[in-house]
């Protein structure tokens, strides 16, 4: 047998390396996402058995109020999630009938959702949610999953597991099970299997056709819809105007709002190994999200993030140097965006004031956005909520949502990818386009909104059709079968756009 030479002899493992190996082996042994899916799946199966045996069930009967549970992503001061749910609630109350529906919404932090969703009961959703779903879903006559990023692994497979699991719980009892205004994208293989198995009896109303294709491949019933944020009525323009004046705006300069995020620390995933390491040695605190969940972290992600922030800053600084009549601000649609907004503002010549949703509620924040002349955003709902204000907007996107929106409104030249190698140079060109063609873009944006309103109104029809399919004796409200009749009352700015461009 050949001797082992010094060059090929294995190096002794250090204590630090050995400890890391233990954590890696723990992670390889237990995939928390798959384990979570198995637990939730098992509880759905138990719910189905419980239903077959008629044990402890809440059943809708004529004369009863319809109890619906809304499962989504509220309680994080994510403006988009909060706005779209607010408009769903208004639409449901309109099409069902305010006197015969009782709504309950899950929130991850009641303090952060306080003052929102008036007349709707709020119930605290724990981070570890399987038992919560198992106990809460049967108390209602149906479940509506209401987060936009409903079926994708990009942000967190656990979030999709929660919403799809809630739908599965309702379907297991032959109750109303609807995904409302959903988007679908890449899902891990195990998550695809979970959705295919437990959402096959649900109806998912998608906000674009590519999402229908993803879910159709899994055998899920779908129909066309839209996002629901289009009908949101924020605070008056005067509200945002005053806030901006208090932060240095002269009331005359055009405002460019930049809405950066950290696109590269997703997905969030449960990690038992990191949880143990953080508890024992204080490691991984920077990427810790909450509970056992951690943001993605790597040297490559850090490099990409720096390139993204620097590219935005370079474009803004070049643009500012040519346009002294423009004031730049940074807007964070979710409290998580504060770090990214601060990082960008530090690299903008002369700095930029920050307006973050942890300080301003959704009514104030959207009013601020609609006082702006131009926007570049990596947040989908920053663009959507600004569009009724006819703000000239462009996107820097990490996934298909902004890409789909820009294509739908016929401005495919106004989005870039977050990892574009020439992000700064190409974004500088787009900023000049927003400045030069603002009036033409206002017209283009105005033309796109009526189609979204039509789709949203049709969602109300599809929803009521499904409700009456599940509960044939439900007293359907006597509304004309038109999309206009199934929209909630429209704010004046939206009805004016509909009158001009509808």
Give the integer Cα–Cα distance in Å for 389 and 53: 54
Q: What is the CA radius of gyration of the chain?
A: 24
Do 198 and 249 share a domain, yes or no?
no
Residue 416 has a pLDDT of 97
Q: What is the pLDDT of residue 140?
A: 97
Q: Which two tokens stand for residue 262?
A: 């950290």
pLDDT in tens, 84-138: 999 999 999 999 999 999 999 999 999 999 989 988 999 999 988 999 999 999 9
| DSSP secondary structure letter of residue 4 | P
Whichever domain contains 54, its CATH number is 3.40.50
Rounded Cα–Cα distance for residues 359 and 125 (Å): 23
Q: What is the pLDDT of residue 2?
A: 36
Asked if residues 108 and 75 have their Cβ atoms less than 8 Å apart, the reply is yes
Q: pLDDT category, 30, cuts 50, 70, 90?
A: low
Domain end point (choices 394, 420, 436): 436
Examine the domain organization and report whether 261 and 328 are in the same domain. yes
Residues 456-465 have pLDDT tens digits of 999 999 999 9
Same-domain check for residues 263 and 181 = no
On the 0-12 / 13-18 / 19+ scale of CB atoms within 10 A, 326 is middle
Alpha-carbon distance of 288 to 82, in angstroms, equals: 23
Asked if 185 and 321 sit in the same domain, the reply is no
Give the SS3 label for residue 178: strand
Contacts of 480 (CB under 8 A, 6+ apart): none
DSSP state letter for 71: E
Tokens, residue 59: 């059943």
**pLDDT of res. 148:** 86
Q: 262 pLDDT band (50/70/90 cuts)?
A: very high
Look up the domain containing 324 and give its range. Answer: 237-436
Provide the whole-model pTM: 0.88
Q: How far separated are the first and last CA of the chain, in Å rounded? A: 85
Q: If you average pLDDT over residues 33-40, what whole number do you get? A: 94
Tell me the pairing of strands 121-124 and 374-377.
Answer: unpaired
Whether 427 is covered by a domain: the verdict is yes
> Which one, of 403, 107, 103, 369, lies nearest residue 229 by Cα?
369
pLDDT tens for each residue of 307-323: 999 999 999 999 999 99
408 and 262: one domain?
yes
pLDDT at site 23: 46
Beta partners for residue 377, in sequence order = 259, 395
- Bridge partners of residue 256, in order along the sequence: 328, 374
Query: 293 lies in a domain?
Result: yes
Is the residue at 471 inside a domain?
no
């Amino acid at each position: 047998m050949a001797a082992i030479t010094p060059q090929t002899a294995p190096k002794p493992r250090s204590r630090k390396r050995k400890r890391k190996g233990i954590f890696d082996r723990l992670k390889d042994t237990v995939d928390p996402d798959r384990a979570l899916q198995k637990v939730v799946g098992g509880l759905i199966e138990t719910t189905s058995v419980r239903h077959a045996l008629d044990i402890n069930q809440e059943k809708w009967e004529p004369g009863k109020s319809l109890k619906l549970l809304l499962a989504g992503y509220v309680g994080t001061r994510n403006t988009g999630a909060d706005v779209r749910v607010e408009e769903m609630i208004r639409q449901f109350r309109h099409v069902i009938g305010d006197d015969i529906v009782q709504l309950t919404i899950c929130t991850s932090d009641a303090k952060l959702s306080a003052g929102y969703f008036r007349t709707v009961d709020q119930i605290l959703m724990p981070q570890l949610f399987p038992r919560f779903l198992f106990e809460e879903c049967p108390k209602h006559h149906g479940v509506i999953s209401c987060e936009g990023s409903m079926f994708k692994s990009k942000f967190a497979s656990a979030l999709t597991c929660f919403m799809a699991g809630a739908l599965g719980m309702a379907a297991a009892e032959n109750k109303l099970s609807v995904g409302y205004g959903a988007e679908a994208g890449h899902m891990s293989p195990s998550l695809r299997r979970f959705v295919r198995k437990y959402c096959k009896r649900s109806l998912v109303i998608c906000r674009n056709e590519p999402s229908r294709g993803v879910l159709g491949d899994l055998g899920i019933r779908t129909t066309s819809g839209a996002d629901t944020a289009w009908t949101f009525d924020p605070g008056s323009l005067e509200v945002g105007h005053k806030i901006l004046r208090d932060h240095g705006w002269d009331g005359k300069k055009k405002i460019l709002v930049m809405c950066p995020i950290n696109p590269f620390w997703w997905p969030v995933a449960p990690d038992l190994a990191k949880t143990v390491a953080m508890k024992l040695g204080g490691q991984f605190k920077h990427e810790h999200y909450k509970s056992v969940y951690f943001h993605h972290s790597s040297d490559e992600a850090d490099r990409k993030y720096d390139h993204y922030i620097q590219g935005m800053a370079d474009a803004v600084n070049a643009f500012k140097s040519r346009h002294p009549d423009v004031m730049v601000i940074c807007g964070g649609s979710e409290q998580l965006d504060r770090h990214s907004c601060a990082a960008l503002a530090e690299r903008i010549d002369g700095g930029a004031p920050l307006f973050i949703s942890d300080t301003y509620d959704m009514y104030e924040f959207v009013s601020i956005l609609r006082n702006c002349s131009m926007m570049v955003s990596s947040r989908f709902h920053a663009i959507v909520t600004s569009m009724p204000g006819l703000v000239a907007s462009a996107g820097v996107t990490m996934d298909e949502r902004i890409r789909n929106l820009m294509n739908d409104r016929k401005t495919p030249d106004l989005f870039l990818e977050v990892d574009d190698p020439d992000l700064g140079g190409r974004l500088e060109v787009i900023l000049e386009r927003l400045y030069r063609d603002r009036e033409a873009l206002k017209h283009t944006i105005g033309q796109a909104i009526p189609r979204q309103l039509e789709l949203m109104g049709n969602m109300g029809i599809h929803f009521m059709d499904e409700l009456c399919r599940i509960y044939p004796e439900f007293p359907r409200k006597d509304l004309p079968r038109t999309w206009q009749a199934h929209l909630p009352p429209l704010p004046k700015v939206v009805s004016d756009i509909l009158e001009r461009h509808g």
